[in-house]
Amino acid sequence: MQSTRQQQKNAWAKEDRKKNPARYRQYEVTYQTKMYEAGICVKCGKNPATTTSGDGGNGGKRIKFCWPCRVAYNNRKNQARLVLKQEVLAHYGPNGVLCCCWEGCTVVDPDMLSIDHVNNGGNIERRTTSYSGGMSYYAKLKRDGYPQGFQTLCHNHQWKKEILKRRAEYNQRSSTCLLASFTDLGSPESA
Ligand SMILES: [Zn+2]
Ligand SMILES: [Zn+2]
């Protein structure tokens, strides 16, 4: 149990931190640089640092954490991601429920679900914006207040939708070609 004196000290430090964010950021950077140079985990400040961010992050450029701290960090990050993903998928699910929107489909596993553009604008958006999909996209949808035009689909039904679209396009094209060749041969209508 902390003494009242210690509690007061902590509360003061918290306030001070809010007032001077830049100074505290500088403390952090100094501390981290010192740890990097000494090869000590920047999280616990005790164990030798052995893992790069590549063991579950991006690039793996810097050895930063010891293994237990890395695992704890990854778990926390993955948990936060899963919560966000489930929230967004549920919002775009049938009646706000975490499930695939395809009629009769019962897939509820977040690993098997993703967000679909109802009007197939996904490719254009990927080409014209920096959002490539994935977690940053879920975050963006939430930040933008859940815009219209999206639905939750399982991966099988994403593909099924694509097949139906391609088939319809093919049928459309082939029927136009057929019509054109009939006209060339002198169909009764053109005679
Ligand atoms: Zn550590
Ligand atoms: Zn489905």
Q: What is the pLDDT along the chain (191 residues), one digit of tens a residue?
A: 567 888 899 899 888 888 888 988 898 889 888 888 888 998 899 999 888 765 544 455 667 889 999 899 889 999 999 999 999 999 999 999 999 999 999 999 999 999 999 987 655 555 555 555 678 889 999 999 999 999 999 999 999 999 999 999 999 888 887 777 766 665 555 44
Residue 125 in domain = yes
- Among left, alpha and beta (phi > 0; psi -120 to 50; other), residue 116 is beta
Tokens coding 68: 């237990």
Task: Give the bridge partners for 117, in sequence order.
Answer: 150
Tokens coding 111: 């690993």
Cβ 39 vs Cβ 48: under 8 Å: yes
From CA 66, how far away is CA 61, in angstroms rounded?
A: 15
Residue 4 in domain = no
Q: Give the Å distance between the CA of 92 and the centre of ligand 2.
A: 13
Return the residue matching tokens 């950021």.
25
Those residues whose C-beta lies under 8 Å from the C-beta of residue 106, and which sit 6 or more positions away, are 99, 100
Instruction: Give the type of residue at 10.
Output: N
Number of domains in the chain: 1
Residue 131 in domain = yes
Residue 128 in domain = yes
Closest ligand to C-alpha of residue 47 is 1
Residue 25 in domain = no
Q: What residues make up the domain containing 101? A: 93-184
Tokens coding 174: 């082939």
Q: Give the Å distance between the CA of 104 and the centre of ligand 2.
A: 8
Q: Give the Å distance between the CA of 16 and the centre of ligand 1.
A: 27
User: In sequence order, what DSSP letters do the residues of 163-186 get, joined into one string?
Assistant: HHHHHHHHHHHHHHHHHHHHHHTT
Residue 124 in domain = yes
pTM for the model stands at 0.66
